Amino acid sequence: MDIKKIIFLGDITGKQGRNAVKAYLNSLEKNPEFVIANIENASHGFGLTKKNYEELLNAGINCMTSGNHIWDKKDIYDYINEADCLIRPINYPEGTQGKGSQIFEIGDEKIAVINVLGRVFMPPMDSPWQRVVDEIKRLKNSNLKSIFIDFHAEATAEKICFAKYLANEFNNEENALIKGFFGTHTHVQTADEKIINGMAYITDAGFCGSPDGVIGMEFSTSLKRLSTSLPERYEVAQSSASQINGVEVLIDKTKAVQIKRINLIVDNNENSKEVNLDNDG
């Protein structure tokens, strides 16, 4: 049976997150067939510069998804249309720069990745329900076997409902077109990974960065902003260890067959050591 390993990494946050992801991917005994990572916080916590885009490409990330912070570094407007491995949420208004989905090749197979923003507790957006359904129908005509979705959203109910709707609408017992649906945005990994009708699912993949701050940001600035309600510039947290969150998914030609959480603390020192937080061993 032809089994392929897909890795999805939660929101990469700042330089520490980038370095941790590079070290993690470099440490793998066998390279996965495809790596997807959310990068909307990769450049000092907000947005993505072209330099960091190229850095993460060279690290082995095949597709970069994003979210509402993708526009925070202004040079994004200079390169997003030419960045073939970077996608922005598909439900921005028509005419927005960049692409909301992209087709890739894994050997002799085609796969697609779609990025989408939720609407509950989020900025106003076009309906994710209609835009994503229309895009899936369009992609079905491209002779591809698998679609993966990064749903960048705040509300867990919205993520769960949307995932179940798509799994019921486009997957069946014989064939799952949508093989992965991964929530991002909250930076807090959920413990609900499962297979829904042949589709690997997790409500939130978590984040990659410093575990000592507040979802990757310095505690002191977060405290001032949250306790006073006054504007305060967030700073990316720094620490001697890094957190790596994501999921590892195994797929065959017809469906996802396994999903496993990646939940590691990596020592940043020269003699790095990984600790699996979900396994005492």
Beta bridge pairs of residue 38: 65
C-alpha span between 10 and 176 (Å, rounded): 23
| Cα R_g (the chain), whole angstroms | 18
Q: Are strands 274-276 and 11-12 parallel, antiparallel or unpaired?
A: unpaired
Contact 102, 63 (CB under 8 A): yes
Instruction: Please work out, in degrees rounded to the nearest 5, the angle formed at the alpha carbon of residue 232 by the alpha carbons of 228 and 235.
Output: 130
69 is a catalytic site residue: yes
**Amino acid in the structure at residue 81:** N
Q: Which of 69, 152, 185, 187 is catalytic?
A: 69
From start to end of 73-141, where are the E strands?
101-106, 109-117
Residues taking part in catalysis: 69
